[in-house]
Chains A and B, each alone.
Chain A
């Protein structure tokens, strides 16, 4: 029997970007807010000091800042007729842990989705006809539009101090920016970051091929910035330790650098770390959440009651908590009914490494920031005519080289032995003159009927609860899309002057052991119809109106961009709906 703690107005589950945003917004409304975080407290000066954060082995290879699989993991299989096996050590993606969540160790790539991404099904059907889409593809409109989200995109960009060059200012196309982006109401708060040598070469080559390259929008700051909450960020020093690492230099946007020092001083906010929420509690009607049950670090169970529950854990853990709490009907791919676990997606990432003449080229590839890049967006979303190509979706391509940490970045040209004297010589000859764009091709992943999440019948977590099972494979549409994008990308790398290329396409079967991105999406998606979505357009649960679910679990399918800016914008959008509508009249914000 769990012990009860005094009731609060709001309980927040998970304390990364969306938890911090919601806590700040709802405490501004005067509500008593308590947040729970499964992992430890983390702060820049204590946990990411520049004296020892530059440690590739500890943070990149041994995953120090991430969730431990023995705490919680998933099972995985490609197809419904296979036996799913547990992911015993992380591979394809890296679930975050601790205060700040993924906002601690992300690259800080700050992309807005395209206006057409939010009305994807409608848009593609109108342009190409319904028959153009693969039969089992289950893409949907989001229920929210780009225009509705724009002020919230803007707000998150200004919270983070985002560095970039505007491409579309209130409908006017701007030189040097992304001409395909949706209209933005203001320029970026800070100018684009400086670009290292290889990145400028990519821009030049892309321009010569007729594209319109632009600097990737970045949450690693080009200059000092004070955000609307009074938090001060410093200029990025291009150390090349962003992804997988925390920034001890206060120059990467994270909950720690943009929100927490402000939030924590409010008397109506508190946070419990090392406390894992295991269940959302509902009353007898099943229509009202009464709070959450959590387990502290000694294994004792507690109950926190609250009038409003905000689920803001990572994608997978949101979905898992809904399944374990029996909120919403679990998805069944056979009957194509139910919603929780439906439209789970990832990303299609590939890259091309370019090997250059080391007598002519020295890239100093270790000089970088997590989101530094020169990109082209001609092949994203529906920016080009898909008719002749027989697939839908796309992505940006770019020289996004975020550091050249030597365990992972000592590449050798194709055909070189993997060890021995020739390998050693090739490493020495190529390190400074190789272009290695991490996620050079960053493509969309659309939804399918037989790609989904449910509870595993065999494997259990440390509390004896079933693990969540991932059933996922790469489909023909995504394989074609990736081949098309990768070939376009290879042309640009070649035009930069590379002597040799190592081209690696994304192919089936989907592989859980090879890192792609941590951009997992769906499973608790938003939409206009409760039969095909878990949440309405304000991220409010259709079934339990005093429950809101943040994060990329709400994406009906994945666009060809990094998700965090959209995740943050959706949180601000949802918070505004709670503040302006829900609190005045608690109940469903949208009629089913």
Chain B
């Protein structure tokens, strides 16, 4: 058989054959696309990330939200040049992640049986990150009140906060029913992730983290710069939605 040419007649013939096949072999259609003859390309058919909506917490309750803001500000403290985790939006970032597919372990393998394994076999629990945060924050709140005369974490100050977190981090302060050290490690990872991810996800507000380290963001052409060695790249960062100043009135 000779290779055909991509003419309209060729296309129509194939569509006809495909249709015939369906009539002959079944009453229903195959529920997946058949691609033939041309690239199945449609303009503007992409799937850009939806920006997060600012506003109230979507996952945390008020108490959890206050604790989270205090926690991310300890993990990434403000300094004269760069805001801390709270003002950079790290708690908002984590809140929206937990309210979304990540929090629910969407797409992960969550079939039973669940059994404890070795650390190098990975997370083995029906609970996803959302439930882990709910449980972790509640246990942390109880431990905190117990050690601070009934005060929640958000009402503590400077050194008291740091001392408490160091104790959890080292595994010296046990959280009731929760692996406190693992929970805190996750919290640190998520707060820092929110600090450095694109601002479209709610953290790294005004690209403060990228400005701090000198990362130019979602630029994609350094052809003029690859050979300019040991010279600081001069342009400020841009995010996926551009630069906040461009859209401000």
Contacts and interface: CB of A to CB of B under 8 A. Distances in A.
B139 interface: no
A366 B216 contact: yes
Interface string A54-88: 11111001100000111001001110001101111
A57 B201 contact: yes
Nearest to A256: B39
Interface stretch (B40-48, B58-66, B171-179): B40-48
Contacts of A269: 36
Given A54-B218, A419-B75, A407 B35 contact: no
B120 A267 contact: no
Given A6-B21, A260-B39, A420-B74, A266 B6 contact: yes
A267 B3 contact: yes
A194 B227 contact: yes
B3 A512 contact: no
Contact of A238 (B46, B113, B226): B226
Contacts of B110: 70, 88
Contacts of B24: 6
B163 to A, nearest CB: 12
Interface stretch (A128-136, A284-292, A295-303): A295-303
Interface string B193-206: 10011101100000
A493 B100 CA distance: 42
Nearest to B113: A458
Given A46-B45, A510-B120, A3 B26 contact: yes
B36 A85 contact: no
B215 A404 contact: yes
A69 B232 contact: no
A1 to B, nearest CB: 11
Contacts of A46: 41-42, 45-46
A61 B193 contact: yes
Contacts of B121: 76-77, 85, 512-513
Interface in B153-199: 162, 165, 169, 188, 191-193, 196-198
A269 to B, nearest CB: 7
Given A69-B109, A267-B6, A419-B76, A298 B31 contact: yes
Contacts, number: 261
Given A49-B46, A52-B240, A89 B122 contact: yes
B150 to A, nearest CB: 26
B215 A406 contact: yes
Contacts of B2: 30
A384 interface: no
Contacts of A419: 74-76, 165, 169, 188, 191-192
Contacts of B40: 41, 43
Contacts of B113: 458
Contact of A270 (B36, B169, B232): B36
Contacts of B46: 45-47, 49, 52
A511 B120 contact: yes
Determine the interface band of chain A, counting residues with CB < 8 A from chain B. Answer: 35 or more
B220 A267 contact: no
A51 B49 CA distance: 11
Nearest to A55: B198
A548 B126 CA distance: 40
Contacts of A265: 6, 37-38
Contacts of A425: 79
Contact of A266 (B3, B17, B108, B226): B3
Interface in A174-209: 194-197, 200
B92 to A, nearest CB: 14
B233 interface: yes
B6 A460 contact: no
A397 to B, nearest CB: 22
Contacts of B117: 83, 85
Given A55-B49, A404-B215, A88 B220 contact: no
Given A300-B28, A419-B188, A237 B109 contact: no
Nearest to B42: A46
Interface centre among B3, B13, B75 (most CB of A within 10 A): B3
A307 to B, nearest CB: 13
A2 to B, nearest CB: 10
Nearest to B74: A420
Contact of B230 (A76, A260, A361, A410): A361
Contact of B33 (A28, A273, A366, A432): A273
Interface string B9-32: 010011001000100111010111
A275 to B, nearest CB: 5
Contacts of A61: 193, 197
Given A237-B220, A261-B39, A270-B36, A364 B232 contact: yes
A57 B193 contact: yes
Contact of B109 (A27, A70, A271, A296): A70
Given A194-B226, A273-B33, A268 B240 contact: no
Contact of A5 (B21, B115, B210, B215): B21
B248 interface: no
A424 to B, nearest CB: 6
Interface in A432-468: 432, 458-460
Contacts of A3: 25-26
B32 A513 contact: no
A4 interface: yes
A420 B162 contact: yes
A4 B25 CA distance: 6
Nearest to B184: A419
A511 B122 CA distance: 9
Interface in A17-58: 27-28, 30-32, 41, 43, 45-47, 49-58
B33 A267 contact: no
B130 interface: no
Interface centre among B76, B196, B217 (most CB of A within 10 A): B196
A411 to B, nearest CB: 11
A46 B218 CA distance: 18
B196 A406 contact: yes
B5 interface: yes
A15 to B, nearest CB: 10
A432 B111 contact: no
Contacts of A297: 31-32
8 contacts: A3-B26, A51-B48, A275-B30, A297-B32, A362-B231, A407-B196, A420-B75, A458-B113
Interface of B: 1-6, 10, 13-14, 17, 21, 24-26, 28, 30-42, 45-49, 74-77, 79, 82, 102, 105, 107-111, 113, 115, 117-124, 162, 165, 169, 188, 191-193, 196-198, 200-201, 209-210, 212-223, 225-227, 229-233, 240
Given A78-B120, A265-B37, 20 more contacts: A3-B26, A5-B30, A43-B40, A57-B193, A57-B197, A68-B108, A69-B107, A85-B124, A239-B220, A264-B39, A266-B3, A267-B14, A298-B31, A362-B231, A364-B231, A421-B79, A424-B82, A427-B213, A511-B120, A512-B120
**Top 5 closest A-B pairs, CB basis?**
A267-B4, A298-B31, A68-B107, A239-B220, A431-B213
